[in-house]
Every structure is written in C-alpha cells, then in structure tokens.
Amino acid sequence: MNPVGKPGKTGSLMPVEEALARLLQMAEATPILEREYLPLAQVDGRVLAQDLVSTLDLPPWPNSAMDGYALNLADWTGEPMPVSQKVFAGQSPEPLKPGTCARIFTGAPVPAGADCVEMQENAEILADGSVKFIEPMSIGQNIRPQGQETTPGELILPAGTRLGPIEQGLAASLGCAGLTVVRKVRVAVLSTGDELVEPGQALGPGQIYNSNRVLLCSWLQRLGCEVVDAGILPDDLSRTRQRLGELQDVDLILSTGGVSVGEADFLGIALREEGELTLWKLAIKPGKPLTFGHFRNVPVIGLPGNPASTLVTFALLTRPYLLRRQGVQAVEPLKFRVPAGFDWPQAGNRREYLRGRLEQGRATIYRNQSSGVLRSAAWADGLVEVMEGRTLVVGEDVMFIPLSDLLD
C-alpha cells in the first residue's frame, strides 16, 4: 500500500481496479452486522440479511395460461366435446368428466384429469354448446405446471441481494409479509472548504455554493444509507478535529475537498494524529487524489472537491464500498460496449470517465470535461470509460456505464 505521505509526492498512479479491490477489502473488514425485520413495503433499496427460501410450490397447482378449454388429449377423437364445467381463477374445479372438456380462464386451476388447454381462438362453439377443436394439440400445452417457478426449499434470493420493486414482488408471491435486512449504513457527509456557502445565502467575494453536499446526501439516500449531514467544515485544524470527534457514531465519514492541496489538508493532518491516513493517487480522471483512513475508530473517505471528481469517485469507488459493507457481492456497475461518436487523439496516463450520452447508438461526450463542470454530468446519461494509454477514432468501441445504474 502507498503509505502515509503528501499527495503529489507519491510515485506511480494506482490503477482503479487496485484501489477498488483495497476499498472492498476494507469494507469486508467492517461489515454492518446488525439487522432488522421490516414490513415488505419498506425494504426497497435495502439489502437482504438472510437467504430467502421458498416454502411453497409456485404456482401451487397447475393452472391455465389461456382463456380456453381444458381436456384430456386421449379423449379427443376430432369430434365435438361437451362442456362439463366452467372454471374461473380462484375456484377449485371438479375432476374432469371423461369425454368432456372444461371451459377455463387464465390463472384458473386445471381440473384433475385434464392435460391440455386449447385457447378459445382455436375452438368452435356449436349450436348444442359442444366445442370442436380445429387445430392439432399436444399434452401440456397452455398449462403452467405446479412448481414451475419454484418448489419448497429452493433458494430464491441469497443474503446480500439488494432489494427493489421486483424482489419485493417476488417475496410477496411467496407469501412473505416482511424481510430481514441489514441495518442502514450511517454516513456523515462533510464538505470542507473556507470558500463554501450554502445555497440561499448571498455569495461573498471568493465564495462558491456548496454543491457536493446535497449531491452526496441525496445519492446516499438512494443507496439506502442513513445520512448525517455534518455541514461545512472550514479549513481549520482544530475545527476539523472537533467535528471529526463529534462524528464517532457513524459507519463512515465521507468528506469532499481538501485532498488536492497539501496546504489546506487539515483532514489529512487530523487523521494522521488520531487515526490513520492513506493517500492514494489514482490513475483516474477526474478524481486523482483520494484519502482513505480512519479517525479514531471511524472509517473516513475523502473525495476530491471538484464536483465532477466527487461524482466519479463516489460512483466508482465509494458506492461499491458502501454496498460491500452491507454484504452485497455484485457491486460492479453495469457496463457495455458501444461505438465512440468522438475522436480521442491524445492518450492519457489515467483512465478517463467522460460524461457522455448515447446518441444513435454511439457515445458522444459533453464539450467541456473539466472536473469543475457538474453540468457535464447533468447533460450526460453515462460515463464513457477511456482506458489509460488509449486513443480512439469515431466508430471504435468504448465502454459505457449508465448513470441510472450508478445512481441507485
């Protein structure tokens, strides 16, 4: 590991994969172990703490996939068949009378003795009420067998699954009224910088509005975290020490700013004094300087302050860290190959995450990729990954990471 040191003095840049692997390792060393049982409607965005195992056959009995007629294929001679019963969803049918068929509707249990459902479009109803089937039929057609989706004892969702509307629906189909989930990760968000003021206040000379705070607080909430908004921290050592000391009941302190300039790096000094400080220079653009360490016993991640750097390092490094602390295994974002809609003539020594969009199946990039320009990300619907040392001409493949996947 690249030990304690000032940013700018370290030698080679750490590859993104290595930084991610180390962060995940550290996340695994301090897993969130507490769990809580919640009503099913409240588990959206949370992480399952126990395997969800089926206690049912789904469907519980063979049912019809169509509106039509159930019959025993061996009884079918080609002659019209009388209808002996009518079965709606929610009803319990009689066994099928030999030589007859049953009128049946989608989702209704198939009567015992029937082994085939013909859709009503292929049936002709005669004047005497009997039904003539006009197409060839086969055993099992249009019948959803008992236990087709699941049988008792089957693992449906492993512990560590992130829950959303689909998993909630699936758990409901198995009769679960609630699920045991991992306690929310408590994250304190700190914005460092003498220049920062909150929106709503007048800007003084040299001041800018704090955009990272609300960006991170909202994003963390989407990730199922409990946010402790720790406000703005001035560039001052004793205030830094004091504020960090007040945040000892959180699972992570997430700060922005103060990592790119050694001079105002009070976070770094405080960590070095009362914890541990590791400074990484990552082969990533934007977002090269990243601080990781702890203050007393609380892990601290210090993201670079430029808004686009904050965004990229949060999305690609902090998000997976937070998910892994909750026991999620699949922390890598969705990524796919698309043709570039732009030229990239100058190879860089860092992996670039350009704010881009898909237009007619090609990745295009925002005109200004400065790390201070958050507007680039608002325009974008994804990050375009250009590897270290890579040049591109229009039409060559690049990887595209949709922001929609990163944001939740």
DSSP state of 316: I
Q: Virtual CA dihedral for 177, 179, 184, 185, nearest 10 degrees?
A: -160
Q: Residue 196 binds which entry of ligand AMP, Mg ion, none, with Cβ cut-offs from 5 to 8 Å by kind?
A: ligand AMP
CA distances from 181 to 44, 187, 217, 323 (A): 10, 18, 21, 13
Q: Please report how close the Cβ of residue 211 comes to ligand AMP at its closest, in angstroms.
A: 4
Kindly determine how many residues on this chain lie close enough to bind Mg ion according to the rule CB under 5 A. Answer: 3
Give the separation between CA 235 and CA 3, rounded to whole angstroms.
24
Q: Which residue has the tokens 């060839």?
A: 136
Q: Is 93 in the site for Mg ion (CB under 5 A)?
A: no
Closest CA to 192 of 141, 267, 108: 267
Strands 196-197 and 382-386: unpaired
CA distances from 214 to 54, 191, 209, 231, 318 (A): 41, 10, 11, 10, 16
Binding mask 241-260 for ligand AMP (x = CB under 6 A): ---------------xxxxx
Complex with ligand AMP: residue 193 or 333, whichever CB lies closer: 193
Give the separation between CA 397 and CA 362, rounded to whole angstroms.
9
Complex with ligand AMP: residue 62 or 307, whichever CB lies closer: 307
Q: Residues 6 or more apart from 115 whose CB is under 8 A from it?
A: 71, 72, 73, 139, 140, 143
Among 89, 155, 261, 393, binds ligand AMP (CB under 6 A): 261
Binding mask 188-227 for ligand AMP (x = CB under 6 A): ---x-x-xx-----------x-xxxx--------------
Among 68, 193, 299, 302, binds Mg ion (CB under 5 A): 193
Strands (E), 248-305: 252-256, 275-281, 284-285, 289-295, 298-303
Longest dimension (CA), the chain: 95
Complex with ligand AMP: residue 130 or 211, whichever CB lies closer: 211
Q: Please report how close the Cβ of residue 316 comes to ligand AMP at its closest, in angstroms.
A: 18
Q: Residue 212 binds which entry of ligand AMP, Mg ion, none, with Cβ cut-offs from 5 to 8 Å by kind?
A: ligand AMP
User: Could you count the other beta carbons within 10 Å of the beta carbon of residue 83?
Assistant: 18
Strands 289-295 and 275-281: antiparallel
Q: Please report how close the Cβ of residue 397 comes to ligand AMP at its closest, in angstroms.
A: 33
Q: Is 302 in the site for ligand AMP (CB under 6 A)?
A: no
Q: Please report how close the Cβ of residue 142 comes to ligand AMP at its closest, in angstroms.
A: 60
Q: Residue 341 binds which entry of Mg ion, ligand AMP, none, with Cβ cut-offs from 5 to 8 Å by kind?
A: none
Q: Is 111 in the site for Mg ion (CB under 5 A)?
A: no
Q: Please report how close the Cβ of residue 261 comes to ligand AMP at its closest, in angstroms.
A: 5
Residues of span 198-257 touching Mg ion by CB under 5 A:
257
Dihedral sign for Cα 354, 188, 236, 205, please.
Answer: positive
Strands 35-39 and 362-365: unpaired
Binding mask 252-281 for Mg ion (x = CB under 5 A): -----xx-----------------------
Q: Please report how close the Cβ of residue 309 comes to ligand AMP at its closest, in angstroms.
A: 7
Complex with Mg ion: residue 258 or 382, whichever CB lies closer: 258
Using the contact rule CB under 6 A, the part of the chain among 29-37, 170-178, 304-312, 316-324 near ligand AMP is 304-312
User: Which residues on adjacent β-strands are paired with residue 402?
Assistant: 382
Q: Is 333 in the site for ligand AMP (CB under 6 A)?
A: no
Q: Residue 260 binds which entry of Mg ion, ligand AMP, none, with Cβ cut-offs from 5 to 8 Å by kind?
A: ligand AMP
Among 54, 150, 278, 306, binds ligand AMP (CB under 6 A): 306
The residue at minimum Cβ distance from ligand AMP is 305
Judge whether 366 and 300 are in contact, CB under 8 Å: no
Query: Which residues sit at the interface with Mg ion, rule CB under 5 A?
Result: 193, 257-258
Sites of contact with ligand AMP (CB under 6 A): 191, 193, 195-196, 208, 210-213, 256-261, 304-307
